[in-house]
Structure 1
């Protein structure tokens, strides 16, 4: 039995990793998985880099930031697998939600309408010389930050001028909202539902409405460790893939909730965890049928698309976190490893995309695509503003965002 230590954060999108241990999928592949709960993404990044963890439940941009030299340690990371798509939301204080609702009608499924309502509030605050709204994200190099900024900018709100963005660990966000220290936040579940259940906030919109079928967390590991342990990585990817199938089965929702609710994992009630797994929203609304709040398996949710890594990179450039050049683009391209994923799963007859990249935002409905094995369905993967991202036209896309 191969012993592996895995770091995870107390979030619903750690489900695949936790289920791999709890339901025996890791053990079936000869892996004894030790799970260690972390409290901050900075700690997760550093402990993975220095070898405390063999693998980690990681923010999708974390390997990119490490390989681009944006982190304290010179350790190269790779992501051979995604841990599902979707899973986060934007929650605002009750007072801000009421102000937005007074300006315009919107729903959680309509990110453009929600952002338009927020823009009207921001404009009123600016004219009234009142305080700047504060929104929190979990880490500067997180999809939360980049998608929040993308959403704000796409709705006519300058994320560097009109809003102040601060960093908080997920577990502090609802408390900060209740204390009036922040006006909103973008975070993974269950920390949006917790604010709603406590009566201190409401969900304004969700990640799936900003960019459908998009990555959130990935399986991260040191590049040199992966090269030295190829068979172990193969077995791990297979175990996590099987866990993703189990997590996606609606018949297993109650069992999955009980696993996640354990004190050593999320330490929350199953009632708080369940909404993210069923797609319901505690505001009293539900998502449109074409959206999945959190998807652990369907539509290639665990495939590490290089085009998605490159879109994240485009937003890192837009935020001023890194310069755009061919060298950095190649570094990002090489950080996600669909080749490892494909090599591990193709022998099992799994339907795996034949391409490593695709045009993001090009599928407005679920579509059958060509794969290396059997039938596979992708999409919808649209952006809320109707734009598309072609990784082969990176220069034009970045120039258009300035």
Structure 2
């Protein structure tokens, strides 16, 4: 790892993003001058859908992007559109998603549910009744086929005995359109990032049945993605972007006051263009989940830097690739380890942040699902504090089963 601050080859960089609360590291890095301190003149380009963002990154209109973590893998494999080898050497955070259901469905389910995290069991009864009566399956939306929104929604349904391929219908809707589609009755629910869950609650059209954290504690969400060719051509620019974004993520996790300040910035017309009250709740861990006033305290709803949140774990990549196989997007004989190693680049992360003096994992992979509380990886000066990683069904994902080495 270098102890020197990177000096970028490029001064001007164009980054794409979708209007979501977890785009905060990019917005803070711009507004607070983190990019500028590394000699970068960054332009942020808001996009309307993940498919549009994917295509503009693929053709070079964008130098990099706030991208769905599985999308970086899918683009490199040619799944769901343009094939473009991408790399990520930076996770932009953990968690941030929720599953919101139409209010009438949400009310009926909560009467019999044992709690928000287990409410899919009540949904299973509704699904069974509709199937018995010959009614059409309920339609639910996620933001993109190769997304953790899709995989967490499928996981949540499956944990309650609902077959996501036969018992319900899954479609794709861009995040800013979710609330409107729910209000129109075109869908019965969705999995999306904030603030589009809180907005549905605020407008009385939906309730939050589960958060992504309920399904998988501290799941990966967005990454900084660039093309493999761009990363090779501009390594110092890439390192400068990573360093600036890590500093912004540190600031976001430093205090609740910083989170409140971030909400004000995100609310501005050029970014999310929503009331601050819709954005701030999930950032400070006070989340409205029911139009009738129900709330949950969720301190880990957004994790931007704690728990080594910025490290690009190859075990995360392998879990997502396994979900692609499980959902039929990827062949069972695909070399998942080779794909994970090509796209996820912890080596670049370590080189990029060496000058910041941060604790960095010395391994690229870890088992997922075995920790219900905060834990330490490593010993002595090399120890890194990580967060809970429990799955809703108490499963454990061990990347060594796929032939990956944890060393």
User: TM-score range with shorter-chain normalisation?
Assistant: over 0.9
Once residues 87 and 259 of structure 1 are traced to their aligned partners in structure 2, the CA distance between those partners, rounded to angstroms, is: 18
How does 1:6-17 map onto structure 2 within 5 Å? 6-17=15-26
The 3-state SS of whatever aligns with 2:119 is helix
**What's the counterpart of residue 399 of structure 1?**
none
Note the C-alpha offset of 1:119.
1.0
Provide Cα deviations, 1:191-245, integer angstroms capped at 9, x if missing partner: 0011000000000000011001111111000001001111111111110000001
1:97 aligns with 2:106: yes
Compare 155-164 and 327-336 and name the one that shifted more.
327-336
For structure 1, which segment, 360-369 or 322-331, has the greater mean C-alpha deviation from structure 2 after superposition?
322-331
Q: Which residue in 1 is equivalent to 2:84?
A: 75
Aligned residue number for residue 176 of structure 2: 171
- CA shift at 1:130, angstroms? 2.3
Aligned to 2:284: 278
Is residue 318 of structure 2 the alignment partner of residue 318 of structure 1? Answer: no
Alignment counterpart, residue 329 of structure 1, candidates 301, 313, 337: 337
> Residues 265-290 of structure 1: CA distance to partner in whole angstroms, max 9, x if unpaired?
1011110000110122212445466x
Map of 1:400 onto structure 2: none
Residues 103 and 121 in structure 1, CA contact (< 8 A), matched pair in contact too = no
SS of the counterpart of 1:61? helix
| Structure 1 alignment gaps of length 5 or more | 396-402
Q: CA, structure 1 residues 138+305, in 2 after alignment: closer, same or farther (shift >3 Å)?
A: same
In structure 2, how many angstroms separate the alpha carbons of the residues matched to 1:345 and 1:98? Answer: 47
Residue ranges of structure 2 left out of the alignment (5+ in a row): 1-9
2:349 aligned with 1:341, yes or no? yes
Distance in 1 (CA, whole Å) between partners of 2:243 and 2:362 is 18
What does 1:281-296 align with in structure 2 at a 5 Å threshold? 281-283=287-289, 284-287=293-296, 292-296=300-304
Equivalent residues of 2:97, 2:193 under 8 A apart: yes
Residue 232 of structure 1, aligned match among 231, 237, 254: 237
Asked if the contact 1:138–1:170 (Cα under 8 Å) also holds between the matched residues in 2, the reply is yes
Structure 1 distance, partners of 2:208, 2:221, is 18
**CA distance in 2: counterparts of 1:276 and 1:50, whole angstroms:** 34
Give the Cα–Cα distance (whole angstroms) in 1 for the partners of residues 221 and 37 of structure 2: 27
Contact 1:352–1:372 (8 Å) recurs in 2: no
| Match of residue 123 from structure 2 | 118
TM, length-normalised to structure 1:
0.94
Confirm whether residue 267 of structure 1 aligns to residue 273 of structure 2.
Answer: yes
Q: 1:71 to 1:123 in 2, by over 3 A?
A: closer
1:371 to 1:330, Cα distance in 2 relative to 1, 3 A: farther
Moved more, 43-52 or 242-251: 242-251
- Taking the aligned partners of 2:86 and 2:236, their CA distance within structure 1 comes to 18
Q: Does the CA-based 8 Å contact 1:67-1:332 persist in structure 2?
A: no
1:180 matched to 2:167? The reply is no
Matched position secondary structure for 1:357: coil
Q: Shift of the alpha carbon at 1:363?
A: 1.5
> Distance between the aligned counterparts of 1:126 and 1:359, measured in 2?
38
CA 1:326–1:163 in 2, change beyond 3 Å: closer, same or farther?
Answer: closer
1:375 CA drift (Å): 4.4
Alignment of 1:196-211 (within 5 A): 196-211=201-216
**Is residue 367 of structure 2 the alignment partner of residue 359 of structure 1?**
yes
Partner of 2:305: 297
Q: Given the alignment, which residue of 2, 7, 11 partners 1:2?
A: 11
Question: In the alignment, which of 51, 63, 87 is matched to residue 60 of structure 2?
Answer: 51
Identify the match of residue 115 of structure 2 among 100, 106, 112.
Answer: 106
Aligned to 2:133: 128
- The secondary structure found in structure 2 opposite 1:268 is coil
Deviates more, 1:63-72 or 1:279-288: 279-288
